[in-house]
Amino acid sequence: MGTPGEKEEKVSLDLSEEILLSMEVGMSFKDYNGRISSMDFHRASSYLVTASDDESIRLYDVAAGTSLKTINSKKYGVDLVCFTSHPTTVIYSSKNGWDESLRLLSLHDNKYLRYFKGHHDRVVSLSLCPRKDCFISGSLDRTVLLWDQRAEKCQGLLTFFKN
């Protein structure tokens, strides 16, 4: 929901088999050929960020066709990654199995800006609110947490119980 008078931009595309068969690869980055566990396009820039099985985060400029930066996260691993509203700041989840914290990372200078601790098992879902500095995370610990990027503690909690 935007402010009064603000229009939501919606795009609709019917994909037929004919259209899909006519598509071609427009760009291919050859800097990594392993498994990519997560990727996200920045909402207002031409940047793409990926999380890879080699425990790295890669930043690309898809309009220029360039790989801009690779940041390793060997200590924590990296599973899910998504942009914040800023094109060089991401939130990511680890996959090391011993620290389920989410991390707010500046790709510009490779510095952690904040840690978000609250989950007790692997984070399997991560989604940012496009208009606020909030995001939600879902975990195998059966919780969904609501976060504000400016605060370390979660702002809301949903717990799901077994029937």
How wide is the angle at C-alpha 153 spanned by C-alphas 112 and 122, nearest 5°?
70
Q: Which two tokens stand for residue 35?
A: 């498994």
What's the gap between Cα 59 and its chain centre? 12
Task: Report the predicted TM-score, pTM, of the whole model to 2 decimal places.
Answer: 0.81
- What is the spatial distance between Cα 100 and Cα 54, in angstroms, rounded to a whole number? 18
In the Cβ-directed half-sphere of 63, how many Cα atoms lie within 13 Å? 6
Q: What tens-digit pLDDT sequence spans the chain (163 residues)?
A: 445 555 556 677 788 888 888 888 877 777 777 889 999 999 889 999 999 999 999 999 999 989 999 999 988 889 999 999 999 999 999 987 778 899 999 999 999 999 999 999 999 999 998 778 899 999 999 999 999 999 989 999 999 887 6
The CATH number of 36-159, from 2.130.10.10, 2.60.40.10, 2.60.40.420, 3.90.1300.10, is 2.130.10.10
- pLDDT recorded at residue 129: 87
Q: Is 24 helix (H, G, I), strand (E, B) or coil?
A: coil
What ranges do the domains of the chain cover? Answer: 36-159
- Residue that has been written with the tokens 């309009």 in this structure: 63
pLDDT score, position 86: 92
Residue 8 confidence (pLDDT): 59
Of 120, 125, 124, 128, the residue nearest 148 (C-alpha): 128
